[in-house]
Homo-oligomer: A and B are copies of this chain.
Amino acid sequence: MSKLGSAPTLDDVAKLAGVSTATVSRCLNNPGQVVEATRLRVQSAVDALGYMPNFAARVMAAKRSSTIGAIIPTMENAIFARGLQAFQEELHQHGYTLLVSSSAYEPEIEEEQIKTLVARGADGLLLIGHDRHPRIYENLERWKIPALVAWSYLPDAQLPCIGFDNRAAMAELANHVIGLGHTRIGVISGISAGNDRARLRINGIQDAASQHGLDPSDLTIIETPYEIENGASAFSEVMSQNIPPTAVLCGNDVLAVGALHRAMEMGLNVPRDISITGFDDIELARIATPALTTVHVPHREMGRRAASALIGMLENQASGHGNPLATHIVERQSLGPPPDA
C-alpha cells in the first residue's frame, strides 16, 4: 500500500482488486476488452481509493481525450454565457467536457490560451469571431486541432463558422430606422479593434445610410466597451452635439439599456424625443423601460449547432461548415418616427 497521505497508485488499485497492473490499465483504457465482473471489481477499487490515473500517462497511452476548449472574449457578456450553456449541454450529451477560457478581447491572450488548451489535450476548439493572427490558423493545422468559429458568419473565413451575418443583420435594422424618416443617426458601438462583430455592425449601419442616400461620414460613431454605464456616457456624448441625432443605434442591448436610462435621466421621452435600438435581444431588452427594439440573435441555437458541428468534425471528419443562422428585428417600444416627421 502506498504511504499514508500520498496519492494512491496503479499498484494500490491492482492489489486491492486482486488483479495485475496490466489488467487495471486495460480496464481504464480499453474497458471493452475486459470481462465485466473484473471491470467492476477494478472500478470499485478505483472508487474506494480515489485513484486518479496520471492523466499524462493516459494521454500518451491512449492518445485520446474528450474535452473541448472554448475561448470567449469575456465572461461578463450574457450572450456568451447563454450560448455556451447550450454548447456545453450538447457536448455533455455526447460525452464531452467543456473547458472555458476568457481572453479579455485581446488577440494575444487568446493565442496564449489556445496553446494552453491544446497542451492540456483539448480535442477541439471553439473560438469567437475572426480577428486573430494568421499564424494561429497555421498552428491549428499543424497540431491537427479541429477548430470552429462562432458568433460571426463569414463565408470565406479560414475556419468553418457557425454564426450569423452581423453586417446584414444590423443593416436590416438601420434600414428600418431610416425608413421611418430618421436622417440624423448616432451610433454607440463596442470597441471594434479585435472585435469583428462590432466592426461589421458599424459597417451595416453605414451600408444602410449609403443605400438611402445619406452620407455615412455624417454618422456620429462612439466606441466604448460593452457596459451599461458606458452606454449611458456615450449617449450623453452623442446628444451633446449642436444638432443631435433623432435615433441612436447601439451595438448591443447592454449599451442600449444604458442609453435608455440616461435618456430618462435627461428628461427625454423614448421614442417620442429620441429613438434607441439595441442588438442581441437579451432578456433585459424585454423588461427595459420602454422595452427595447432590437435584433434577435438565436444564441442558444448557435451554441447547440456549434457543438454539433464540432462533434461532427471530431468524430466524422465533417467540414464543420453550416449555413448562417437567421436573425430578425424585434419591434418593441423604443423606436418610433423622428420628432420632426
Contacts and interface: CB of A to CB of B under 8 A. Distances in A.
12 contacts: A52-B115, A52-B119, A56-B59, A58-B119, A67-B116, A76-B78, A76-B82, A77-B81, A97-B101, A97-B113, A98-B101, A100-B102
A30 interface: no
A99 interface: yes
A85 B75 contact: yes
Contact of A75 (B84, B101, B115, B117): B84
A270 to B, nearest CB: 12
A75 B92 CA distance: 15
Nearest to A63: B56
In the complex, the 4 A-B pairs of residues with the closest C-beta atoms, listed nearest first: A56-B56, A75-B81, A55-B119, A50-B139
A222 interface: no
A53 B115 CA distance: 10
A172 interface: no
B228 A50 contact: no
B102 A99 contact: no
Contacts of A76: 78, 81-82, 85
A102 B75 contact: no
Interface residues of A, number: 62
B116 A102 contact: no
A296 B88 CA distance: 31
Interface stretch (A187-195, A208-216, A283-291): A283-291
Pick the most buried of A60, A80, A98, A109: most chain B CB atoms within 10 A of its CB: A98
Q: How many copies does the complex hold?
A: 2
Contact of A261 (B135, B144, B287): B287
A169 to B, nearest CB: 23
A189 to B, nearest CB: 19
Nearest to A291: B261
B75 A80 contact: yes
A116 B97 contact: yes
Nearest to A140: B50
Contacts of A77: 81
Interface in A23-65: 49-50, 52-60
A7 B99 contact: no
Contacts of A139: 50, 52
Nearest to A116: B97
Contacts of A144: 7
Contacts of A55: 56, 59, 119-121
A284 B283 contact: no
A74 interface: yes
A250 interface: no
Contacts of A116: 67, 97, 99
A277 to B, nearest CB: 18
A135 B50 contact: yes
